[in-house]
Structure 1
Amino acid sequence: MKPERVCRVVLGAGAGAVALVAALIFVPWPGPGGLLEGVGRPPAAGAGGATAVVRAETALRAGARVPEARLAALVADRERWLRAHPKDEAVWAELGTAYLEAGDPAAYGKAEGALRRSLALRPAARGNAAGQTGMGALAAARGDWAAARRWGEAAAKAAPEGWRAQAVLADAYTGLGDSASAAKAVERLRELAPHAAAGMGRAAEAYWQRAWREDASAAAFDAVALTASPLERSAALTRVGELAFERGEPADALGAYDEALRAAPKAEATGRAAALAGRARALAALGRGEEALRGYAAALQARPLPGYALAAAEAAEALGDQEAAREYGELLRAKVAERAAHGVDGALVLARWQADHGGAEEAVEALMERWWVRRHRSPQVADALGWALLRADRARDALPYARRAHEQGPRNALPVYHRGMIEQALGLAGPARRHLTEALRINPSFSPLGAPAARQALEELGEPAEGGPKDVYGSEVPQSPGVPKAKPKGPRPAKKARE
């Protein structure tokens, strides 16, 4: 397998995931690449590699994805330059950014070393915004959203007109569950870089996180129109497919993923991975499970992300292939451990697997100690924590987290389904029936395992008793300590600001 390539910090994910978790897991958002404001341009070493280096640098400056060969040429060129000019702090920042853009967690240590060398030569106090922004992007790539916010805010203060710091902040605030601040960062990003596809892509994510479905779809299509390269176009079309799937339109999603695969250069295997995984997910929703498994295998061959292994395991389990499901589960664990060795926290995706496979208490402990206590309280973390608590036979503790995920997160079917199942376990028949129905209305095929389970639960609940359910809103269940009541998402930005 080729090294993993993660062009956007994830979200998701997560933007996955799916959602944000899922969206961050499945969609390769345009990355923090191009964190190069104020960076000098040393001449490309050798005429033969000059064109590739210049094109890579141009793409990074625009926040666009860079083909692997061009990125390798840029890295080699900058390493060569720094051997002769070791005190060039601007190029150290550029090199660190290029290492990060390559997306292989094994290179994150080299990225950190280069960025810290840049900051040592020119400290943050002297305005090294490129170094600060790079460190923020690295923290986000590792899932340390609090550190990403600190670095991003410092970079934005040092260089108020630098849109790349706003991109880091949008990711960081999303990971911390602060959707209002994420939306502000995205709006500022769009003001500073109105023609950047990366900015429009983040706008789509921010709108989706706030349940503004039409705005998110419009921004996603606008991002496609703004792309400047086949690889970037493929990533934008993959995002369109992801949103279509979450709206419950798997056929439309499949069409977008197919178009994304046609747009992506065949030589860019890792750049095609998210479209392959998304296509597999759509195929599973359309009842084409065997094709879906082949699609997940192709995605994992190109880019072995834990999230793809999780989706493949669930697809295999839905088909009754327990051996394949177990193997994909083992792959998930192995990849999480491998990435953890390079500072990447995979507790969230691992917890989703553990909750349903005998490790619910372990999942609760990991999510509580490594995410919730550190104030990484996105709706996706709340959802995973609530589900793990239910699977650990702690439904009463689970409900406040499920409420938070449902009421503060995007309008995805999965957290609504989880809330309904928790309410069923608590004997709250009215709310359970309402939320399970809502999940299937949002997306009738949201999960190869969850959607059938939701239908079965509704059959077990039956019709409401004459006179209506006794406790429609589930108000008898108190809040758990440390889980504040959901707040309104707030007004949308003015029409002028969103156009």
Structure 2
Amino acid sequence: MWKTIPLLAAALAVAACASPQAATPAATQTSSLQRNAESLQAKLRRTPDDPAAWAQLGATHVELARVTFDPQHYPRAERALTESLRLKPEGNGEAYIGRGALANARHDFAGARDWGQRAVAALPHSAQAQGVVVDALTQLGDDAGASVALQRMLDLQPGVASFTRAAYHFELHGRLDEARGALERALESASSPEEAAFCRFQLDELKGRTDEEELKTYRELVSRVPSPEHLVRYGRALDKAGKPQEARAQYDLALRQSRALGGDDLTAALIAADHGDPAEALRFAEKEWAKRQSVFTADAMAWALHVNERSAEALPYSDKAVALGWRDAEVLRHREAILGSLR
């Protein structure tokens, strides 16, 4: 147990980050996962009635989708996990974890919560099961429930996965010194170059970068890890550098990537609010808000209402976005504009 953390809440970013200096480890991770998938496939050709191997194969494809951003791995994961559950429909905790991770990756957070809770019931001492629940509940806006799940995760396995979630919890609550401390603990716990690179990248994110450093960092990053989140951040860096056409290309690519990966409408809402149709931005934000009332969707609703000249209606959503203490630069920019229009 990490005694210095009281009840915690967090969600590791749906798309994992890789350090721009970590191209070789990232490639090594992908190769390792691919070899693991091939080994499991060979095993299943010999023993096709092995539910555990099917669950492991499904989880491997979820991880491959995460590191490669290739959406073709999602249906492969679903087929493998479905077969595992066909062979062992009850008490199949590993398959429940896999289905929960897949649902989180596809931004079906309500489904991920349900699978995660089934996994916890089947495997009460599994930190992975708790992690699925933490991620889902945070995205659904259940801060208290996510806190309980994360504390249990830390009690079970105080390692990289739990410490990085703790760091994100502290960031969402505006406790940046504690977030850095949690990431330093995660870095100390890293057992692979990929884990260490992820932790260093997140530490750099908390410390902040100059505009020039940010532009260089995200240019190099999206060439290897083209997640929607990173593409949007690269677009913002290009905007700040006075390159709006290049920025627009990144936003468009982020939208296409999000759709291909089965993402939600949150990215679309924020991009449309700044660079598209305000009415469309509000439709996207309202659709997402109907599914989950988190600080993330609250900010999207606030900004979409503001750009539609409905700032008085936007303010309660902006209040919710910062209610935990979250002080993300874009969220604060949105809030300042809303407050300014009401003065």
1:337 pairs with 2:259: yes
1:213 maps to which of 172, 176, 182: 176
Distance 1:197 1:333, change over 3 A: closer
Q: Which has the higher contact order (CA 8 A, sep 6+)?
A: 2
Residues 179-218 of structure 1: pairs in structure 2 closer than 5 A: 179-194=143-158, 196-218=159-181
1:227 maps to which of 186, 190, 194: 190
- Over residues 42-64 of structure 1, what are the superposed CA-to-partner deviations in whole Å (9 max), with x where a residue is unaligned? xxxxxxxxxxxxxxxxxxxxxxx
SS in structure 2 of the partner of residue 15 of structure 1: coil
- Counterpart of 1:133 in structure 2 is 97
1:412 pairs with 2:328: yes
1:356 pairs with 2:274: yes
**Structure-2 separation of matches of 1:328 and 1:412:** 21
Q: Is the 8 A contact 2:18 2:197 kept in 1?
A: no
Percent of aligned pairs with the same residue? 33
SS in structure 1 of the partner of residue 49 of structure 2: coil
- Over residues 197-238 of structure 1, what are the superposed CA-to-partner deviations in whole Å (9 max), with x where a residue is unaligned? 212111222232233333222111111111111221111111
Q: CA RMSD in A?
A: 2.2
SS in structure 2 of the partner of residue 373 of structure 1: helix
- Counterpart of 2:72 in structure 1 is 106
- Counterpart of 1:121 in structure 2 is 87
Q: Which amino acid aligns with 2:198?
A: A
- Counterpart of 1:93 in structure 2 is 55
Q: Which amino acid aligns with 2:156?
A: L
Distance 1:331 1:372, change over 3 A: same
Q: Which amino acid aligns with 1:188?
A: R
Q: Which amino acid aligns with 2:302?
A: G
SS in structure 2 of the partner of residue 160 of structure 1: coil
- Over residues 131-153 of structure 1, what are the superposed CA-to-partner deviations in whole Å (9 max), with x where a residue is unaligned? 11110010001111111111101
Number of residue-to-residue matches in the alignment: 324
Q: Is the 8 A contact 1:217 1:240 kept in 2?
A: yes
Cα deviation, residue 182, structure 1: 1.4
Q: Is the 8 A contact 2:134 2:149 kept in 1?
A: yes
Runs of 4+ displaced beyond 3 Å: 24-29, 291-295
Q: Which amino acid aligns with 2:147?
A: A
**Structure-2 separation of matches of 1:413 and 1:292:** 14
- Counterpart of 2:24 in structure 1 is none
Greater C-alpha radius of gyration:
1
Cα deviation, residue 408, structure 1: 2.8
Cα deviation, residue 294, structure 1: 4.3
Which region of structure 1 is more displaced relative to structure 2, 389-398 or 300-309? 300-309
- Counterpart of 1:382 in structure 2 is 298
Q: Which amino acid aligns with 2:210?
A: L
- Runs (5+) with no aligned partner, structure 1: 1-10, 17-23, 30-64, 246-281, 428-499
Residues 17-416 of structure 1: pairs in structure 2 closer than 5 A: 27=17, 67-103=29-65, 104-123=70-89, 126-194=90-158, 196-245=159-208, 282-284=209-211, 288=212, 292-339=214-261, 344-369=262-287, 371-374=288-291, 376-416=292-332
Cα deviation, residue 81, structure 1: 0.9
Bigger helix share: 2
Q: Is the 8 A contact 1:183 1:207 kept in 2?
A: no
- Over residues 268-303 of structure 1, what are the superposed CA-to-partner deviations in whole Å (9 max), with x where a residue is unaligned? xxxxxxxxxxxxxx231xxx2xx6444433222112
**Structure-2 separation of matches of 1:176 and 1:346:** 13
**Structure-1 separation of matches of 2:17 and 2:224:** 14
Q: Is the 8 A contact 1:89 1:122 kept in 2?
A: yes
- Counterpart of 1:15 in structure 2 is 12
Q: Is the 8 A contact 1:15 1:205 kept in 2?
A: yes
Q: Provide TM-score, normalisation by structure 2.
A: 0.88
Q: Is the 8 A contact 1:390 1:398 kept in 2?
A: yes
- Runs (5+) with no aligned partner, structure 2: 1-8, 20-26
- Counterpart of 1:494 in structure 2 is none
**Structure-1 separation of matches of 2:290 and 2:59:** 30
Residues 446-465 of structure 1: pairs in structure 2 closer than 5 A: none
